[in-house]
């Protein structure tokens, strides 16, 4: 069983029916009377689309996520801001579904539907929390997790957050994996270590659990507490993603890109 499914099961209290087996939906009791909608993309070995059988985000996954998120927005439309349910994206996605069929059918539109749904929910006042428990790679993470107000990640060697898998990055850059690892020592964005990623300004909390593959009750309790805390920060913070550019880590590690943004804004004003 994948880490995404493991943590989904550990945090969920009431599993809901999903139109697509690869999209897991549940209500989770986070403690202190707080219930959140939990979403995860999980493996479906029987999927009719073979490139999406190992937990990748493809056509059905994009539509399934969008449908589940928009359902919450519609159900909570008449609630006050502090009553709108949080949505927790449990992230363990190896990538988007790379396949000829998916591309012909317009996979980018299906993934965009998920992105738009998450962004719509966030702007409407639903705290969106991404909990990265395994892989968060490429378009899979773009569609499921990166629109979150707050991004949490397990502090574990097998958690990786990156634009592409390391062997693919080696081929694209015409380097060996060993050469990439050496270069990552001085060029932080090339690193696959979650601790290095956390220094780039997008991490709102690294969670030190004792067993990421088989979480203990204490591990689950720690994560529930961290998610509740992230929800509180999301409710009191901006509904856009400007916090990613204002953290102390971003101000240090993204100075050049922040200066480019400043100059472009100045010229376009």
Round to whole Å and give the CA distance between 193 and 176: 17
Q: What percent of the chain has pLDDT over 90?
A: 81
Q: Please, what is the average pLDDT of the chain?
A: 94
Strand 14-16 with 23-31, pairing: antiparallel
Strand 150-154 with 87-93, pairing: unpaired
pLDDT of residue 266: 94
Q: Given a cut of 90, is residue 269 above it in pLDDT?
A: no
CB atoms within 10 A of CB 81: 11
Provide the terminal-to-terminal Cα distance of the chain, rounded to the nearest Å: 52
Domains of the chain: 3-239 (3.90.226.10)
Round to whole Å and give the CA distance between 112 and 100: 18
Burial of 90 (0-12, 13-18, 19+ CB in 10 A): buried
Q: Residue length, the chain?
A: 269
- Asked whether the whole model's pTM tops 0.85, one would answer yes
Residue pair 158/133 in contact by the 8 Å Cβ criterion: no
When mean pLDDT is compared across 70-79, 139-148, 185-194, 206-215, the lowest value belongs to: 185-194
pLDDT of residue 13: 84
Scan for tokens 């991004």, then name that residue: 151
* pLDDT per residue as tens digits for the range 95-135: 999 999 999 999 999 999 999 999 999 999 999 999 999 99
Burial of 165 (0-12, 13-18, 19+ CB in 10 A): middle
Tokens at 131, concatenated: 């909990």
3-state secondary structure the chain: CCHHHHHHHHHCCEEECCCCCCEEEEEEEEECCEEEEEEEECCCCCCCCHHHCCCCECHHHHHHHHHHHHHHHHHCCCCCHHHCCCEEEEEEECCECCCHHHHHCCHHHHHHHHHHHHHHHHHCCCCEEEEEEEEEEHHHHHHCCCCCCEEEEECCCCCEEECCCHHHHHHHHCCCHHHHHHHCCCCHHHCCCHHHHHHHCCCCCEECCCCCCCCCHHHHHHHHHHHHHHHHHHHHCCCCCCHHHHCHHHHHHCHHHHHHHHHHHHHHC
Scan for tokens 């932080």, then name that residue: 188
Mean per-residue pLDDT, 82-101 = 95
Burial of 93 (0-12, 13-18, 19+ CB in 10 A): buried
Residue pair 52/58 in contact by the 8 Å Cβ criterion: yes
């Amino acid at each position: 069983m994948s880490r995404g499914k493991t943590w989904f099961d550990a945090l969920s209290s009431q599993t809901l029916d999903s139109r697509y087996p690869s999209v897991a939906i549940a209500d989770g009791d986070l403690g202190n009377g707080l219930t959140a909608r939990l979403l995860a993309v999980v493996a479906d070995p029987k999927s009719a689309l073979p490139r999406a059988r190992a937990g990748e985000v493809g056509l059905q996954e994009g539509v399934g996520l969008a449908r589940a998120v928009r359902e919450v927005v519609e159900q909570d439309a008449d609630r006050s801001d502090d009553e709108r349910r949080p949505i927790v994206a449990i992230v363990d996605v190896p990538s988007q579904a790379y396949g000829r069929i998916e591309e012909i059918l317009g996979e980018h539109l299906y993934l965009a539907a998920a992105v738009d749904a998450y962004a719509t929910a966030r702007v409407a006042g639903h705290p969106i929390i991404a909990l990265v428990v395994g892989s968060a790679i490429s378009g899979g993470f773009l569609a499921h997790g990166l629109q979150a107000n707050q991004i949490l990640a397990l502090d574990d060697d097998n958690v990786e957050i990156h634009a592409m898998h390391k062997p693919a990055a080696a081929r694209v850059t015409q380097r060996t994996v060993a050469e990439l690892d050496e270069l990552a020592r001085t060029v932080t964005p090339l690193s696959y270590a979650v601790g290095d990623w956390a220094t780039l300004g997008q991490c709102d909390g690294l969670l030190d659990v004792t067993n990421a593959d088989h979480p203990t009750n204490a591990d689950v309790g720690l994560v529930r507490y961290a998610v509740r805390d992230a929800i509180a920060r999301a409710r009191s913070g901006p509904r856009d993603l400007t916090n990613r550019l204002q953290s102390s880590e971003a101000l240090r590690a993204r100075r050049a890109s922040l200066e480019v943004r400043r100059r472009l804004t100045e010229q376009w004003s």
